[in-house]
Structure 1
Amino acid sequence: MINDWITGTTTLYGIMGYPVSHSLSPIIHNTAFQHLKITSCYVPWNVFPEKFETALRGAQALGIKGLNITIPHKETALYLCDTVSDEARSIGAVNTIVFSENLIRGYNTDAYGFSQALQTCNIDQINNNILILGAGGGARAVAYALGNLFPESAIFISNRTAEKANKLVEHFNNMFVKKNLFKLVTASDMKTIQFSLVVNTIPTQSEHFDEQLFKRSTGTAIDIAYSINDTPFLSMAKKHQWIISDGLEMLLFQAAQSFKLWTNVDMPTDAVRRALYSYIGRRL
C-alpha cells in the first residue's frame, strides 16, 4: 500500500492541472515506486489557472522533487521555468518539471510518448494527409512528433480558434526543413480532403466532430485522451471501420520518460502497464 512508503524521508512528486481528479498518473507512478521499492509518493493537485504560478513556486519551496503538468498549464509552465529543454522549447509547452539546484527545469515528454504509442498502430498505411484536431499544448507535442516522423507528409491543423491554429502552423513551418509541411485547414476543406491519420487533442463531445471525416476513407484515428470506454471521437471512427487508439499508451510512455528524468531509473513499464490496465478494467 502507498501508506507503507510514507516516512520521514519520503520524496514527493505529483501532477498539477485543472481538472485533474480523473488522472491515472498517480496509479502509474506509485506502482513504479512500489515495484522498485523507492520511498516516494505521487499525488494529484487541482490548480486553477490563476493560481498556477503560486502553486508551482510553492511546490519548489516545499521540497517537492518533480511534477507533471497537464491541461491547461503546459504552455504557461514554459515561461515559468528557469531552464527549458530544447524539445520543450521547440514544442512550446512543458509537461514535466524537475526541481534541482534551486532551479525549475522544464521538459516535454509528450512528443516521445506519442511517438512510442504510434508504433502500436498501423502506421504503414499513413499517406500524405494527416489531420490534427486542436492547437493547445497536446497538439503542439503531437505536431512536433509527426513532423519528425513524417517529414514528407502534409500535416493539417484544425481548431475552433483559427488564430491559434495559424500560430501553431507558422511556429512549426519555421522549424522543419520542408516548406509548408503544416497547413491550416478549414471546415469546408475537411469535407474534401481524405486523411489517413486523424489525431484528436481536444477534450470535447461527439457533436463537435463531423462524421463525414470518417466516411470518405479509412485510416487510423487517435485520441490523446483516455477513458475506460472509447471516447466519442473514437466511437465515431470505429463505426466507420477506422483503426482506433486512445491516449493510454502515450500516457504510459511519457510517464516513463518523466520518471527517468526524476529518478534516473527506468520505469518497469510492463509491470506498470499490467497494473494500469487492471485498474481500469481493460484487457492487455
Structure 2
Amino acid sequence: MLGFPVKHSLSPAFQNVAFAHHNLPHRYEKWEISPAEFAAFLEKARREDFLGLNLTVPHKLSGWEISVRRTPAADATGAVNTLFLDEEAGGWLGHNTDVGGFLETLPDAGYSPAGQSAVIIGAGGVARAIVYALGAGGATTLTIANRTANRAQAIVDTLQPLLPGTLLQVSGLEPAEWPADRSLIVNATSQGVLEPDRPFPIPVPAMNGPANPPALFYDLTYGQTPFIRAVRAAGYPVLDGLLMLIYQGALAFETWTGLAAPRSEMLAAAEAVLAERLKGKTS
C-alpha cells in the first residue's frame, strides 16, 4: 500500500490474513511514499518482483497515468487503486476495485441499484467511482449533489457517454432539489475524516424525503462519522465504508493471486484492529 500519509491503513491487517489463508509466502506492507518518490518506488517494485500494489491518496491519478493497460473501471473513473505487474504487457495493469467493492456491499443491505434513483453527496474521485458503479449496476437516475456545481458537472460530462441508460444530473445540497423517488443516499464527502466533530449539515429527514420505505443511507467512511451518527439517531438504515474497504481489498487480492479472497476472515481482522484502536482511545 502506497500513500501519503498511510499509517492508519487497515489493509495490512486483512490482506495478510488472506495470504495466510492460502499459505502464500507474500507479505503486505504499507509504505509512506510522497509524490516525488512515487516513480522511483515503482521501479524498485519491478526490480524486487513485487506481486502488486495498492494505491491511496495522493497516488491514484499517477497510478492511472503509468498503467500500460487499464480495466474499464479504471478508465471510466480516471483513478487506479490496484496495480498488478504484468510483464507480458511490459508494465503495470491498473484497476479500480472501489467500483466492484461498492457494488458487492449492496446485496448485504438488501439493495439493488437496478431501476433505482440515488443521490451521491460530494464530487471528488470516490464520488466518480460510485456514480460509475451505480450506473453500471442499472440505476436509472443519479444525482450528484455538491456545493460547487462545476465539479459535479465534470463527473456528468465524463461519465454520461459511458452510461447511456442512466440519467446523470447535478444538484445543490438542498434535498428539495433532489428526485422524490430517491432510494439511496451516499455520502462521498471527506467530512468524516476532516471534520469528525462537526454535525452533518443536512438534516436526515430532509435527505430521506418522501421515501417510503426509508431510503438506504451509506457513508463511504467507516466509523462513527457525523453522517452515520445522525442517520442512526434518526432511526434510518445505514451502512458505513468498512465493508466496501474489505470487498475492494478482496478484489485486489483476487487480481494479484487469482484465488478467492476469504472475505469473512478479512473483515474479522479489520474489526479486531478497530476494536484495539478504540480500546486504546478509551483506556
Indicate which of 139, 146, 159 corresponds to 1:151.
139
- Is 2:101 aligned against 1:113? yes
Partners of 2:4 and 2:57 within 8 A in 1: yes
User: Equivalents in 2 of 1:66, 1:16: separation in Å?
Assistant: 11
Indicate which of 229, 235, 254 corresponds to 1:260.
254
Q: 1:51-80 deviations in whole A, cap 9, x for unaligned?
A: 434433443344322111122322332112
Letter in structure 1 aligned against 2:78: G
Structure 1 residues 240-249 or 46-55, which shifts more? 46-55
CA positional deviation for 1:244: 0.7
CA positional deviation for 1:144: 1.2
Q: 1:114-159 deviations in whole A, cap 9, x for unaligned?
A: 011011114269985311122222212211111122332x211123
Give the TM-score normalised by structure 1.
Answer: 0.83
Letter in structure 2 aligned against 1:18: F
CA positional deviation for 1:259: 0.6
Residue 120 of structure 1: SS of its match in structure 2? helix
- Is 2:233 aligned against 1:245? no
User: Equivalents in 2 of 1:113, 1:75: separation in Å?
Assistant: 19
- Structure 1 gaps of 5+ residues are 1-14
Partner of 1:221: 217
Partner of 1:8: none
Partner of 1:279: 273
Q: 1:230-267 deviations in whole A, cap 9, x for unaligned?
A: 21111112222221111111111111111111111111
CA positional deviation for 1:273: 2.3
Give the TM-score normalised by structure 2.
Answer: 0.83
Partner of 1:60: 46
Residue 129 of structure 2: SS of its match in structure 1? helix
State the aligned residue count. Answer: 263
User: Equivalents in 1 of 2:113, 2:164: separation in Å?
Assistant: 24
- Is 2:59 aligned against 1:73? yes
Residue 123 of structure 1: SS of its match in structure 2? coil
Residue 40 of structure 1: SS of its match in structure 2? coil
- Structure 2 gaps of 5+ residues are 277-283
Partner of 1:12: none
Residue 108 of structure 2: SS of its match in structure 1? coil
Residue 67 of structure 1: SS of its match in structure 2? strand
Partners of 2:3 and 2:34 within 8 A in 1: yes
Identity %: 30
Q: Call closer, same or farther: CA 1:162–1:45 in 2, change over 3 Å.
A: farther
CA positional deviation for 1:170: 1.2
Letter in structure 2 aligned against 1:19: P
CA positional deviation for 1:49: 3.6
User: Equivalents in 2 of 1:112, 1:176: separation in Å?
Assistant: 16
CA positional deviation for 1:208: 5.5
CA positional deviation for 1:34: 1.6
